[in-house]
Chain A
Amino acid sequence: MTSPRLAARPTAAAQRPYVFPEVRKLELAGGRVVAAHLPGQPLAWLGVMLGGGALAEPLPADGAVALDGLSRATASLLDEGTENYTADEFGAAVESLGGRWGVDSGWQSTKVTIDLPVSRAEAGVGLLAEAVRRPAFRDVDTRRFLSDLASAKREQFARPGMRAQQALRNALYGEQARYGRLAGGTPESTAALTGAAVKEFHARWLRGPGVLLVAGDLDLLDLEALAAAVFADAATGDPTTPDGGAPLAERQRLTIADRPGAVQSTLRIGHPVPTRRELMAAGVDIVALRVASTILGGSFSSRLNQELREVKGYTYGAHSSFDLGRPQGLYSANTEVQTDSTAPAVADALRIIHEFFDGGATAAELELTRAYLAGATPIGLQSPGAVGDRLIEMTRHDLPGDYITTEHARLLEVTLDEVNEAVRAVLRPQDLVVAVEGDESAFGAELAKAAREA
């Protein structure tokens, strides 16, 4: 093949400034509303954020199985039959609006969302209100749903990932603590859930008004009417979910979930970190930490992915991130590596994290990442659902409506010293716990050595 004539590399012009959509925080119809204005957007995203969450689940009676996963199951049952609809009718009604129903239940809150054409928003919020305020929890639906959930959990645990995550949480917080287990529960705990427990959990935790979140064209949406629909029939006040316990003082360095015959090992390497609010109160620059996190494990060009995938070929991908959520944050590095590379991959991952802590980011990495994150903000916020996720974050952490815009501006000026200061304030390589789900017989002693020596 003859060499074609290739054009020289262009220089890119500066990116245009970014401004997050206008956010309105209102009190309407007796409840809180947080709405982002997306003019011309044909789709709308509506959500109700309620209390509850895994940390609100009841403590088991002596000798009984803990009801881990009750919060998530209850949230998922809200649309499985209501006062005015059977379970099938409700599902068909959502779909007949072109709607996509979403349920997310974390440690301390519950989110129910619908995403649909803006012209159908009023009917959509009617369904949201119907599910949140008037769920029926009929025995026939609850029994069927919980049986399916238990089977789905068995399948989920047969796939790589859940048991590694479980092992990590056990090692960090102890399996006696609710926070030391999985928010969604296990096959055993899910099998123990009952309709009575669901009803009780709903009555105790999910009847408060919550917060209505809206992302869409506010020139077409009547927020007053949406709020009136959602907040009618709400109980007064939202109960406060307790925080999780403190991490264990003495932690094992390595924990293994054996999976005989696995051709890959799933690695979860992490340590607890403070929440976003705690870090801000302590003077840690959240934007600088986000830059650092991206350099270490947050993009294809990150140190972890470059070394483990592009240089060593151990994996299809490796990444790490700082989750600064409540009640406690978590730094974790995640990857799936071929079984015979388990020990060297753990050693490399630990080495990369240590080196990053000791030596910090480089000026070139900072500039690359600054430009990448600045571009990624508008690219990542094209859909109403993506804007909705930011509204959830805003509400959970009590952030101002323009925080994305402010952080975007801050990103453009953050310095290398600030980035490295944030790394040293938050990353604690000596505290990392290595959780591995894989074929223990294939790596046993070699892995223990790799984890110990790093």
Chain B
Amino acid sequence: MVRQPSEGTAENPAADGGFRWPVRQFSLDNGLRVVVCEDRTSPIAGVNLWYNVGSRHEPAGKHGFAHLFEHLMFQGSAQVGKTEHFSVLQEVGGSAINATTSADRTNYYQTVPSAALPTALWLEADRMGSLALTQENLDNQREVVKNERRQRYDNVPYGRWAEILLALAYPEGHPYHHSTIGSMAELDSAEQSDFTAFYESYYSPDNAVLTVVGDADEAQVRGLAEEYFGALPARPRPAAPSVAALPAGIEGPVHEVIEEPVPLPRFFFGFRATRFGRPGAAADEVLAAVLGRGRGARLFSELVTKRELAQAEGSYLASWQLAWHESMLSGMVTPRPGVDPAELLAAYFEVCEQAATLAPTGAELDRARSMLEADWARELSSVGSRADQLSRHAVLFGAADRVRDRLPELLSVTAEDVRAAAERIFTPNNRVTLEYRVSTASEGN
């Protein structure tokens, strides 16, 4: 039982694409799309609502409003008091209750005992139809969001790296130029009317997908969706401003240096990459795994083990999977004590650029495929994250069933596809480098 594993190959995905449950989808007259995935394993149901709105919709001067609005969605509605949202769910046994906002979308989710499915759908419908947008709620949640910003961005070393990288990688005015958390100053200028307009524009049934996964069937969910969401009217939305396609490469190289009182010097990188769901995107993801993810990745063995230039990390490259405009691969690397940062920087780019001529070996590709396949099984193993994937595919491709293509697409990426992706992505003019240098000053922020 020793030394057999690395010979294994990724198994051929079954005809169901590693997604072994039925998927049903229908629409209500008001345009709400509903997805149902029946799974009787446990008496629970995951409920997920994707609203097709994110920070990419924010106009100038209102950055961070989509995310602040997400907080307001938990502050009550016509039949739900200010602090009641969580308790209504908890008193029927619901948990895993939360929401997230990204550049692309806003998702709301909860998992409930299946007996409480009506309550979860009623609650989502009540806030979709009658949110309590009060000054008190706005003032309080603005403070919560400012503390979220402090906790995640401003009070931690390197906390602003992603925000700075986006601003360098996307031109001013592009929907992905700004971070989702937004700026303190712009949040301070937020008025109630901003949120009324935002709500009316985007929180409409025809701009959302409702997914239920678990101990429920199509007929039951259809009945409940009609009952709770059926009377909510569709509303017009402003036309999305047209955004010109970006060139295939960042017009770089860009190299920005920041001096802050960080504990160690560190580099962050951004490379323009393929939009999620477009041809080539799967190859970008496999490329990131082959080169940059895990203990067996090329960047790890070259920079950490062989040359001893870099600190060990779990990930040196990651795919952002942005879906509405050109996406990004980001990278990071930290020099070991005594290593010249410039030497590490050159070595990092060397390994990346070599991939344009050095296609992955069979073993390298097997490793990446096995990781991606197991990731997918883990992602689908809870009803909540499975519902999120179904909502995502319904919003982006119009059909939740497209979720079955996800794993086969990743597993069908060939060594040549990966090599070609590296050739496309790892050119000097397609990269942004953000270099943190250690300052000893105490006021860095």
Contacts and interface: CB of A to CB of B under 8 A. Distances in A.
B4 A123 contact: yes
B289 to A, nearest CB: 9
Contacts of A16: 43, 113-115
Contact of B78 (A6, A87, A94): A6
A325 interface: no
B125 A371 contact: no
B157 A158 contact: yes
Contacts of B146: 338
B95 A380 contact: yes
Contact of A383 (B334, B374, B381): B381
Given A3-B130, A264-B151, A313-B140, A127 B5 contact: yes
A96 to B, nearest CB: 5
A97 B300 CA distance: 18
A95 B3 contact: no
Interface in B355-410: 363, 366-367, 370-371, 373-375, 377-378, 381-383
Given A42-B377, A316-B147, A376-B95, A92 B304 contact: no
B87 A301 contact: yes
Interface stretch (A57-65, A146-154, A267-275, A279-287): A146-154
Counting chain B residues whose Cβ lies within 8 A of the other chain, the interface size class is: 35 or more
A2 B115 CA distance: 32
B237 interface: no
A372 to B, nearest CB: 4
A88 B378 contact: no
A375 B113 contact: yes
Nearest to A310: B83
Contacts of A7: 122, 125, 227-228, 231
A261 interface: yes
A264 B122 contact: no
Contact of A96 (B200, B312, B370): B370
A85 B383 CA distance: 38
Contact of A299 (B43, B86, B228, B304): B86
Contact of A301 (B83, B118, B304): B83
B181 to A, nearest CB: 11
B171 interface: no
Contacts of A309: 144
B90 A371 contact: yes
Given A3-B130, A14-B115, A151-B311, A313 B143 contact: yes
Contacts of A88: 295-296, 300-301, 305
Interface in B73-94: 78-79, 83, 86-87, 90-94
B294 interface: yes
A6 B79 contact: yes
A98 B41 CA distance: 24
Contact of A15 (B8, B113, B142, B334): B113
Interface residues of A, number: 93
Interface string B132-152: 000000011111101110111
Interface stretch (A113-121, A166-174, A394-402, A443-451): A113-121
A221 interface: no
B95 A375 contact: yes
B114 to A, nearest CB: 8
Given A6-B129, A96-B296, A126 B147 contact: no
A42 B304 CA distance: 34
B295 A95 contact: yes
B311 A152 contact: yes
A263 B150 contact: yes
Nearest to A39: B41
Contact of B112 (A89, A159, A311, A375): A375
A367 interface: yes
A148 B300 CA distance: 13
Contact of A87 (B3, B129, B305): B305
A10 B366 contact: no
A95 B336 contact: no
Interface in A1-22: 1-10, 12-16
A12 B119 contact: yes
A404 interface: no
Nearest to B148: A316
Contacts of A123: 1, 4-5, 8
A154 B263 contact: yes
A130 B2 contact: yes
Interface string B298-320: 00110011001001100000000
B282 interface: no
B444 interface: yes
Contacts, number: 263
B292 to A, nearest CB: 13
Most buried by B among A7, A116, A117: A7
Contacts of B231: 4-7
B125 to A, nearest CB: 7
B136 to A, nearest CB: 11
A41 B42 CA distance: 12
B97 interface: yes
Interface string B309-345: 0011000000000000000000000101100000000
Interface in B212-244: 227-228, 231-233, 235
A100 B374 CA distance: 9
B262 to A, nearest CB: 7
Nearest to B224: A10
B11 interface: yes
B92 A371 contact: yes
Interface string A305-331: 010011101111000000000000000
Interface in B241-268: 261-264
Contacts of A124: 5
Contacts of B139: 313
Contact of B374 (A14, A117, A160, A310): A117
A154 B261 CA distance: 12
Nearest to A99: B374
Contact of A336 (B113, B155, B295): B155
Interface in B187-201: 200
Contact of A260 (B130, B157, B363, B442): B442
A319 to B, nearest CB: 13
Given A9-B119, A338-B150, A372-B91, A382 B144 contact: no
Contacts of B371: 95, 98
A352 interface: no
Nearest to A369: B90
A250 interface: no
A40 B122 CA distance: 33
A430 interface: no
Nearest to B45: A379
B1 A122 contact: yes
B162 interface: no
Given A95-B370, A96-B366, A151-B336, A84 B311 contact: no
A420 B127 CA distance: 35
Contacts of B119: 9-10, 12
Contacts of A261: 261, 442-445
Interface string B91-107: 11111110000000000
Contacts of B116: 12-13, 15, 375
Interface of B: 1-6, 8, 11, 41-44, 78-79, 83, 86-87, 90-97, 111-116, 118-119, 122, 125-126, 129-130, 139-144, 146-148, 150-152, 154-157, 200, 227-228, 231-233, 235, 261-264, 294-296, 300-301, 304-305, 308, 311-312, 334, 336-337, 363, 366-367, 370-371, 373-375, 377-378, 381-383, 442-445
5 contacts: A43-B374, A116-B374, A158-B263, A261-B261, A382-B383
